[in-house]
Structure 1
């Protein structure tokens, strides 16, 4: 299969628009240049299964962001307080994520540009600065959840204080560097292995919880109470913010380009098809895990008089005695540690993609990672010093609301780009998909306006 030694000139650009793709492999020519087109694909005459498996990986890396420790806080609180009612919100947000991630993969494959590079090429500098700052804020908010989750898991498993665990979490920067140096496939394998651990841990807890099937099915049907109950709506918006991650849209548009697919129309169509299947299947795993967290919380706490459980530590302490399974709490903490570790890996890549894409600024990966992680640790230290461990849960919830507010800054440019004929050519999305995508963006905007109104007025 022919492979390009440098980034191909995208065939879908137009002089009529402000879309100015870099035509050479300059500092901003390739997204993640160290792994660009580094994974070879089997010959075209091999089986469809081998072709599909060659594309498997990016979707699972993206799915990590949909089950990070921030999801745990919102899912636990939602299940404990409101039972199975908010399962409908998890399902809806996951379906929105499947659509948006498919659009993100399409953009990267069709144009050869990640979302950050596309924004830089299209928008004037002032807007790009705003978008970049919003992206960095979302990464810091996500990183904040990862710091807290990892620190709590280390405290539960090893008795390490929260501050000590937060400082230890800085070392994950070196884990990313080691895996990247061995090859992108090693990084993907590491991610999938940790996801498997999380799935097994919650699978065991689901069996122990034995939730009633009728209530589960009813929970997946949207209830008007979600909108009318302000407290439930606040948690629902937090679930949306924790599920649909802004920086994941930038990440996915980049890492799909690690495959050395043919840069022809047919080659790009095949790559889009397999990348979409990859992310859809991976996000169904994320749906299972997020739903499992809420279901376990509902079965263990909502129906047993522990509706006020909102802290991860409280859930850890109560799970084993309530479920009658001695290992339940340990499985919970192990899964939390795996989720925190996984999320830091993808957060590192997203930070690199955004900084290089918007600013064409290349700094050592360890420095970029330590900078982001350092900014995330500061609020953890302040809240712990002022309010103790009890304030950490509120900080975790706040981080997810911040992520929800950042969503429009990533979603709107993405839909603008993939629905534009001049930019996408024959790979532009259909009118029906465009309407559906703008409908998703509208839901996100309405939820955000509602959140801001309730917060300030």
Structure 2
């Protein structure tokens, strides 16, 4: 509904209204308070005046503020309301599962196996704390990507000096390489165990990850293509979960009480190598590249919403420039952000937490207190022990889970590397060349490691890479906190066609009143804790 339609309602009620322009001439848009006051006066003697005023109030509020008032004429049963919410939520399934892949890669396998073999279930507490931290960071990432329309790397390039930007890029690339080392080596180990392929050749075969991303993931294309890509990654995630559910069924876990006691704080975290392994678990769980990924996978649904509603109509230049100038509308953010964050948190606290805990529990149940080799457990040894102590099927299922997670994690790591290089540097070469170079840089140290150290050095290198990631995390998370607390950055346009800076909602942590007109103010609460905006008149 437009304001002209609101005027027509008032005109029908009082044809002698001298405040209505009957000549079709353009006139300034009045404030909502003026319109509603006029309607209240003109319709006061109408039998349906109250109902009409309420209808106009709702639609004017939606037109001006982008907020729909509750429909008082429609009453849904609790079951219908739940089904409606679930149906809407299902449209947002995908990004959270892709991000959760970052928290269940081969690096997690290596650290969880070592932690379970050395301390049994006592370091489950470290996994739980790491997942809470991951949920906090990812919620901020989703908020940053939705409000600004840019991922974390693009925001760094836009708001930081060149020297700071390059420094952050170098640290981010180191994190990508350390992450890729785990992905590539984990996949190579699984191929070696299942098919007998030499480790070096297995590393080279992981280039397939790049081809999948190049061919399948088109973030600036149709949303259907994006969802198909997300569905493929989600399938690998589901297969991984199924494998570990079967592993838990095979393993003799002992006392259930001891398992749950592992989620409570324990002094084992500070004994021996407990702190080192806890840092490795933290680095394997809250991985720096996941912050770039989490802030970069939310835009396609926002952009699709704005295109369907007519708020954003990209041209060829926008598509070629990866929609760098796209700014999500308030309506798109209000419609999608809360469902996106909910899907993300559910994925982290179900899929990622379950897989990480299952790895440690299986390792603790089968490796703890057995032999000296178990204290130096790696991915090869846990396969051998599972095959001998449980069954060959249990060992095979573990390796299949390693293969599925390695492939899915390799795909999203390649995608993160693409976001890092494109966001920080804005390279002008074609995406194919750019992504191939990024992947080649990441694979080279992995190949050298395999050729020089062989199997004996893989476990130590994997654990060390996860510790390195935990040390790099503050340098990546600091810009994220800075951006999400900055009022100048975390603002949303009230009207998508109005680019004036004073006509924006503030969605940073602290509420801020923004001057919209001569007498009207709007206040936006933190979108992490409130679903609604409030309007006030001074």
Give TM-score scaled by structure 2 length.
Answer: 0.69
Contact (CA 8 Å) 1:261, 1:268: kept in 2 or not? Answer: no
- Rg: which structure is higher? 2
Q: Cα distance, 1:416 vs. partner?
A: 1.1
Taking a change above 3 Å as real, the CA distance of residues 157 and 94 of structure 1, as seen in their structure-2 partners, is: same
From 371, 393, 400, the equivalent of 2:466 is 400
Distance across 2 between alignment mates of 1:423 and 1:359: 20
From 197, 203, 206, the equivalent of 1:169 is 206
1:82-121 aligned within 5 A: 82-121=119-158
Match of 1:387, SS state, is: helix
From 159, 180, 186, the equivalent of 2:217 is 180
* Equivalenced residues, count: 389
Match of 2:297, SS state, is: helix
Give TM-score scaled by structure 1 length.
Answer: 0.81
Match of 1:163, SS state, is: helix
Taking a change above 3 Å as real, the CA distance of residues 297 and 372 of structure 1, as seen in their structure-2 partners, is: same
Contact (CA 8 Å) 1:380, 1:392: kept in 2 or not? Answer: no
Match of 2:442, SS state, is: helix
Distance across 1 between alignment mates of 2:121 and 2:434: 40
Q: Find the counterpart in structure 2 of residue 57 from structure 1.
A: 94
1:275 counterpart = 2:348: no
Q: Cα distance, 1:230 vs. partner?
A: 4.5
Taking a change above 3 Å as real, the CA distance of residues 234 and 430 of structure 1, as seen in their structure-2 partners, is: farther
Distance across 2 between alignment mates of 1:404 and 1:362: 32
Contact (CA 8 Å) 2:191, 2:403: kept in 1 or not? Answer: yes
Bigger relative contact order, structure 1 or 2, given CA contacts below 8 A and separation 6+? 1
Q: Cα distance, 1:54 vs. partner?
A: 1.3
1:38-437 aligned within 5 A: 47-180=84-217, 183-211=225-253, 212-227=255-270, 229-259=271-301, 260-262=304-306, 263-284=328-349, 285-305=351-371, 307-322=374-389, 324-425=390-491, 426-429=506-509
Taking a change above 3 Å as real, the CA distance of residues 366 and 313 of structure 1, as seen in their structure-2 partners, is: farther
Taking a change above 3 Å as real, the CA distance of residues 117 and 380 of structure 1, as seen in their structure-2 partners, is: closer
Unmatched 5+ stretches in structure 1: 1-43, 437-457
Q: Find the counterpart in structure 1 of residue 320 from structure 2.
A: none
Contact (CA 8 Å) 2:217, 2:229: kept in 1 or not? Answer: yes
What's the CA shift string for 1:106-130, capped at 9, x where partnerless?
0111111211111111111000000
Bigger fraction of residues in helix:
1
What's the CA shift string for 1:319-346, capped at 9, x where partnerless?
1222x23311111111111111101111
Across the aligned residues of Structure 1 and Structure 2, the Cα RMSD in angstroms comes to: 2.2
Contact (CA 8 Å) 1:80, 1:308: kept in 2 or not? Answer: yes
